[in-house]
C-alpha cells in the first residue's frame, strides 16, 4: 500500500504522530514505545519485518524506528521497501553497531536518522523530532509543488482553450471575409458572363505562381484572397461596352480601360492590407512588361509583382474561357499563345514559372472548370 496525500485531509496527515517500532528484542521495542508514548506519540510495536508490513497495511505511520539486524528480512531491506512503498513515512535506523559505513548506507538509502544502542532518551527524542520535522517540510514542499503544477496545468489548459477559440474565430472571420470578397467579385464579373469558377481559377492560379516564385506564405495568401477583386471596377463600365460581342472602337477601348482605375479607387485607402493588395492588383493587372499596357503604361519591374502575377493568371483564364466576344481556346493552344507574349505582355521570369507549373495549372483548370468546359474535357 502506498500512502497518498488526500488534499482534503492533508492537515491530519501532516500532523500524524503515530510511530511504528520494529525490533526483534522485546525489551528494546517496549522501552522505545514507553519513551515515545510519554512524550505524546502513539506507538505500535512489531517484532519483525513480516509483522511490520501487516501494521503498515492496516494504517498510516508518520515514522518507523527499525532495528538493523533482525532474523529473516534485515531492517535495511525493510526500510528500503517502506521508503519505496510509503514515501510519506519517515525512517530512523536503530542498531547496536556503531559503524560509519552502515550509518552512511542508511542515510544514503533515505533514512532520516541513525541511533546506536544503548541510547539515551534525549537522543531518541531529538532524532524523532528532527525526522518528523523534515518529513513535514518534505510533504509541504510536495503539496506546494503539486499545487503549483495544478495551477500551471489549469492555466495552460485555459490558455490552450483561449488559443483554440481565437483560432476558430480567426478561421471563421477569414472564411467570412473570403466569401464576402468572392461574392463581390462575382457580382462584378457576372455582368460580362464570368462565373464563380472563374474566380476560383484566378485565385488559385495566382497563389500557385506566387508560391512557385518564392514569395512569403503570408503574401501568397493575400494574393490568393485579393486576386478575385481584380476586375471589381467593371461595376462602373457601361453594359453597351462591357457586353459588346464584336471588336471595340478606340473610344470603347478607352472606356473599358477605365475599369482598372475605377477598381483602384474603390479599393485603395483602406487600413486593411488585403484591400490595399487588391487595389494594387486591380490597377496593374493590365499593365504589360514592354510598357504597352494600361492604365498607366508601366514597364518591367515598375509593375508590382502582384500585378504581374495576376496578369498571367487572368490572361490564361481569359484564353481558356468562352466570352461574348470570343470562344474558349484549348489548354495547349492557350499555352502556346502565352509563350509568344513572353517578355512582351508577360514578365519572362514569371511566365517561365508558369510554364514549369503546367501540371498543377491543368489540375486547377480541370478541377474548377465551367460546366460547358468540363463537358468538353470529359469528351476529349
Grid cell listed for 28? 528494546
Say which residue, 6 or 117, is predicted with more confidence. 117
- Please, which pLDDT band fits residue 352 given cuts at 50, 70 and 90? very high
In a shared domain, residues 254 and 375: yes
**How far is Cα 190 from Cα 291, in angstroms, rounded to an integer?**
30
Q: Does residue 272 sit in the same domain as residue 197?
A: yes
Question: Does the residue 141 lie in any domain?
Answer: yes
Q: How far apart are CA 98 and CA 116, in angstroms?
A: 6
Count of structural domains, the chain:
2
196-to-193, 271, 371 alpha-carbon distances in Å: 10, 27, 11
Which residues, 6+ apart, have CB-to-CB distance to 315 below 8 Å?
Answer: 338, 341, 345, 346
Domain boundary residue among 130, 152, 174?
A: 152
Q: Which of 30-44, 56-70, 159-173 has the lowest mean pLDDT?
A: 159-173
Q: What is the Cα–Cα distance from 64 to 45, expressed in whole angstroms?
A: 10
Q: Is the confidence at residue 375, as pLDDT, over 50? A: no
Domain span at residue 19? 7-152
Max mean pLDDT among 36-40, 143-147, 183-187 falls in 36-40
Res 376: pLDDT: 41
Confidence of residue 4 (pLDDT cuts 50, 70, 90): very low
pLDDT at site 101: 85
Residue 380 has pLDDT above 50, yes or no: no
Taking residues 83-95, report their average pLDDT.
89
Residue 219 lies inside a defined structural domain of this protein: yes
234 and 310: one domain?
Answer: yes
At 43-68, the pLDDT tens digits run 999 999 999 999 999 999 999 999 98
* Same domain flag for 341 and 206: yes
Which range among 110-114, 186-190, 229-233 shows the weakest confidence by mean pLDDT?
Answer: 186-190
Is 341 a residue whose pLDDT tops 50? yes
Give the start-end residues of each E strand in the chain.
18-22, 42-46, 63-67, 90-95, 113-116
**Are 205 and 330 found together in one domain?**
yes
Cis peptide before 94 (omega within 30 of 0): no
Neighbouring CB atoms inside 10 A of 314's CB total: 22
Tell me if 179 is assigned to some domain: no
| Buried/exposed 293-304: b ≥16 CB within 10 Å, e otherwise | bbbeebeeeebb
Q: What percent of the chain has pLDDT over 70?
A: 82
Give this prediction's pTM.
Answer: 0.54
| Mean pLDDT of all residues belonging to the chain | 83
- Does residue 175 fall inside a structural domain? no
For 259, the 3-state DSSP assignment is: helix
- The answer as to whether 32 is a domain residue is yes
Indicate whether 319 belongs to any domain.
yes
- Pair (146, 197) in one structural domain: no
CA distance 6 to 16: 13
Nearby residues of 93 by Cβ (< 8 Å), 6 or more positions away: 66, 67, 68, 75, 76, 79, 103, 106, 111, 113, 114, 115
Shortest CA distance to 21 belongs to which of 39, 7, 33?
Answer: 33
Q: Does 165 map to a domain?
A: no
**Of 21, 48, 41, 50, which is closest to residue 119 (Cα–Cα)?**
21
The whole-number average pLDDT for the span 215-233 is: 89
Give the number of other CB atoms < 10 A from CB of residue 14.
16
Q: 92 — phi, psi (to 5°)?
A: -125, 130
**Cell numbers given for 249:** 472602337
- In sequence order, which ranges of 191-330 are alpha helices (DSSP H)? 196-213, 217-226, 239-242, 250-267, 273-284, 305-319
Helix (H) or strand (E) holding 26: helix 26-37
C-alpha cell of residue 225: 484572397
Last residue of a domain, one of 121, 152, 183: 152
Is residue 250's pLDDT more than 90?
no
Opening angle at CA 144, ends 140 and 147, nearest 5? 135
User: With bands split at pLDDT 50, 70 and 90, how would you rate the model's confidence at 374?
Assistant: very low
Write the pLDDT tens digit of every residue in 283-293. 999 999 999 99
Q: Is the peptide bond before 118 cis (omega within 30 degrees of 0)?
A: yes
Mode of pairing for the β-strands spanning 18-22 and 63-67:
parallel
Does residue 71 form part of some domain?
yes
pLDDT > 90 fraction of the chain, expressed in percent and rounded:
40
pLDDT at 7: 41
Overall average pLDDT of the 200-208 stretch: 92
Q: Tell me the C-alpha distance between 161 and 169, whole Å.
A: 12
Burial of 181 (0-12, 13-18, 19+ CB in 10 A): buried
CATH of the domain at 77: 3.40.50.2300
Instruction: Report strand pairing: 113-116 vs 90-95.
Output: parallel
127 and 248 part of one domain: no
Amino acid at each position: 500500500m502506498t500512502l497518498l496525500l488526500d488534499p482534503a485531509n492533508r492537515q491530519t496527515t501532516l500532523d500524524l504522530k503515530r510511530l511504528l517500532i520494529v525490533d526483534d528484542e522485546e525489551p528494546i521495542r517496549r522501552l522505545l514505545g514507553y519513551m515515545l508514548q510519554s512524550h505524546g506519540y502513539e506507538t505500535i510495536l512489531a517484532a519483525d519485518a513480516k509483522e511490520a508490513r501487516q501494521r503498515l497495511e492496516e494504517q498510516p505511520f508518520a515514522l518507523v524506528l527499525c532495528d538493523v539486524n533482525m532474523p529473516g528480512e534485515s531492517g535495511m531491506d525493510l526500510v528500503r521497501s517502506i521508503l519505496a512503498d510509503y514515501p510519506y513515512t519517515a525512517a530512523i535506523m536503530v542498531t547496536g553497531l556503531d559503524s560509519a559505513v552502515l550509518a552512511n548506507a542508511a542515510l544514503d538509502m533515505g533514512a532520516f536518522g541513525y541511533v546506536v544502542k544503548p541510547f539515551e532518551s534525549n537522543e531518541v527524542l531529538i532524532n524523532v523530532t528532527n525526522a518528523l520535522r523534515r518529513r513535514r517540510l518534505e510533504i509541504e514542499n510536495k503539496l506546494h509543488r503539486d499545487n503549483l503544477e495544478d495551477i500551471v496545468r489549469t492555466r495552460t489548459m485555459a490558455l490552450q482553450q483561449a488559443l483554440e477559440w481565437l483560432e476558430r474565430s480567426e478561421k471563421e472571420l477569414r472564411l467570412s471575409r473570403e466569401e464576402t470578397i468572392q461574392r463581390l467579385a462575382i457580382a462584378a464579373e457576372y455582368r460580362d458572363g464570368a462565373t464563380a469558377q472563374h474566380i476560383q481559377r484566378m485565385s488559385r492560379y495566382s497563389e500557385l505562381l506566387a508560391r512557385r516564385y518564392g514569395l512569403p506564405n503570408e503574401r501568397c495568401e493575400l494574393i490568393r484572397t485579393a486576386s478575385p477583386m481584380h476586375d471589381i471596377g467593371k461595376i462602373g463600365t457601361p453594359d453597351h461596352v462591357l457586353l459588346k460581342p464584336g471588336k471595340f472602337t478606340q473610344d470603347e477601348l478607352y472606356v473599358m480601360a477605365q475599369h482598372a482605375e475605377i477598381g483602384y479607387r474603390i479599393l485603395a485607402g483602406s487600413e486593411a492590407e488585403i484591400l490595399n493588395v487588391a487595389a494594387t492588383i486591380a490597377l496593374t493587372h493590365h499593365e504589360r512588361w514592354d510598357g504597352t499596357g494600361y492604365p498607366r503604361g508601366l514597364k518591367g519591374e515598375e509593375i508590382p509583382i502582384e500585378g504581374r502575377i495576376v496578369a498571367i493568371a487572368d490572361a490564361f483564364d481569359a484564353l481558356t474561357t468562352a466570352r461574348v466576344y470570343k470562344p474558349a481556346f484549348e489548354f495547349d493552344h492557350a499555352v502556346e499563345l502565352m509563350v509568344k507574349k513572353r517578355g512582351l505582355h508577360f514578365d519572362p521570369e514569371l511566365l517561365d514559372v508558369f510554364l514549369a507549373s503546367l501540371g498543377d495549372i491543368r489540375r486547377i483548370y480541370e478541377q474548377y472548370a465551367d460546366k460547358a468546359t468540363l463537358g468538353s474535357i470529359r469528351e476529349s
